[in-house]
Amino acid sequence: MRVRLLWVLAAAMAVLGALEFRELVHFQPLGIDFLPLWTAGRMAWGHADQVYDFAAISHAQSWLLPGFKWMRPYAYPPTALLALAPFGALPFWPALALWVTLGLALFLYAGARLAKSRPTLNLTLMALSPAVLLAMMVGQSVLPAAALVVLAMVELERRPRLAGACLALATAIKPQAALLAPVALVSGGAIEALASAAVVEALLVGASIALFGFDRWPEWFASLPAFQAVVQSTPGLIPGVITPAGAALQLGLGGPLAIAWRVGFLAIGVVMVWRAFRRRGEASRQLAALSAGNLLAAPYAMHYDGSLLVPAAVVMAVDSLSQRGWVWRVLALCAVCEVTTAYLGLPIVLLFAALSSLPDRSSPLAGGPQLAAAAPRA
């Protein structure tokens, strides 16, 4: 019955995803968030000096968004251009299809590596989670970044150098995805992984400088305050921000109070990640702490970035079905399914962090072995 409950949840997510798709295409074209990424990748070939020019890159997107009134900046680091430039060489729609297909494939491959049992159920829940579906519809970069973080957690014990390289690649694509990774690696004593991450990141930075010019880095840093201003001034964005910084704006906090608010949540994230990796344990539990901690520390993340929470939430829920405390894990998964709801992002992240950090009651329920034997393997 518990397995069937999760299949019912998957079916409900499929229905809600279809409704969300129908509503989304009425208001905006598919791949709207991939558009500035593709445009930056296209500019990287001969006009890299315009990548962080908000007016220039927004104007270059007008062919798909005629009459759009707000800025559409590119806010990713120059290292992300290494991945985006090949897509910029393609026409937009084939590039979008390839981007989404590769991102989802890598995300599900990483999820399959993390899962211990019932792979079909695990991967179905991951693919149909609202944050993941939204990331696919808009063409976001969070899926490949999340996949690399998952693979890093899977490989951390056996192949620390590979784990460090995966974290470096995730940071190069989307820094929010692995913001507290150094805290995790230091806490867990994974010095080899930390060194590998530093070397790979340095190589990626060097490659970006060689290909796109050193000036891209100061231009990117200088653009970040302007990007925050764009987020605050663009209608409809703030309700979807799931970080403490977004919640501070929603609550009208400013000045020293806003700084104290963000620093407090940063401290919570650091402590949570430190404790999870200090104790060691299951990769899914460490991934849950790292993903939630990253979102608490990030200056900016939207509802689709809740995809970072999905692999850990799904695997912990499925793995717990024959164990005591399974209800809390399933509730944590249900909470993650609500991360795309306006204004609920930060409360959902906090609720997931609390539920996923509850003590692991691994002893089976009465009849547990029989339940495990009788449950259909998906």
Q: Is the dihedral of CA 310, 312, 318, 321 positive or negative?
A: negative
- pLDDT number for residue 246: 87
Burial class (CB within 10 angstroms; exposed 0-12, middle 13-18, buried 19+) of 255: exposed
Q: Which residues pair with 364 in a beta bridge?
A: 323
Backbone phi, then psi, for 71, in 5-degree steps? -65, 145
The residues, any chain, with a CB within 8 Å of residue 121's CB and separated by 6 or more, are 3, 6, 7, 10, 318, 378
Backbone phi, then psi, for 81, in 5-degree steps? -65, -25
Q: Which residues pair with 302 in a beta bridge?
A: 241
- pLDDT number for residue 280: 74
Per DSSP, 299 falls in state S
Single out the residue of 127, 314, 128, 338 nearest to residue 240, CA to CA: 338
Per DSSP, 325 falls in state T
- pLDDT number for residue 369: 42
Burial class (CB within 10 angstroms; exposed 0-12, middle 13-18, buried 19+) of 22: exposed
343: its two tokens:
């204004």
Q: Is the dihedral of CA 346, 347, 351, 352 positive or negative?
A: negative
Burial class (CB within 10 angstroms; exposed 0-12, middle 13-18, buried 19+) of 239: middle
Residue 288's identity, in one-letter code, is A
Distance, in Å, from the CA atom of 163 to the CA atom of 59, rounded to the nearest integer, reads: 39
Angle at 256 between CA 250 and CA 262, to 5 degrees: 55
- pLDDT number for residue 359: 78
Neighbours of 340 (CB within 10 A): 25
Q: 3-state DSSP call for residue 376?
A: coil
Q: Following DSSP, what letter does each residue of 231-287 receive, concatenated?
A: HHHSTTTGGGB-SHHHHHHHHT--HHHHHHHHHHHHHHHHHHHHHHHHH---HHHHH
250: its two tokens:
């929603």
- pLDDT number for residue 237: 85
Distance, in Å, from the CA atom of 38 to the CA atom of 36, rounded to the nearest integer, reads: 5
Single out the residue of 317, 320, 309 nearest to residue 353, CA to CA: 309
Count CA within 13 A, CB hemisphere, residue 5. Answer: 12
pLDDT tens digit at each of 378 positions of the chain: 888 999 999 999 999 888 888 888 888 889 999 999 999 999 999 999 999 999 999 999 999 988 888 899 999 999 999 999 999 999 999 999 999 999 999 999 999 999 988 999 999 999 999 999 999 999 999 999 999 999 999 999 999 999 999 999 999 999 999 999 999 999 999 999 999 999 999 999 999 999 999 999 999 999 999 998 888 888 788 889 999 988 998 888 888 999 999 999 999 999 999 999 998 778 999 999 999 999 999 998 999 999 999 999 999 999 988 888 899 999 999 999 999 998 999 999 999 999 988 876 654 554 444 444 444 444
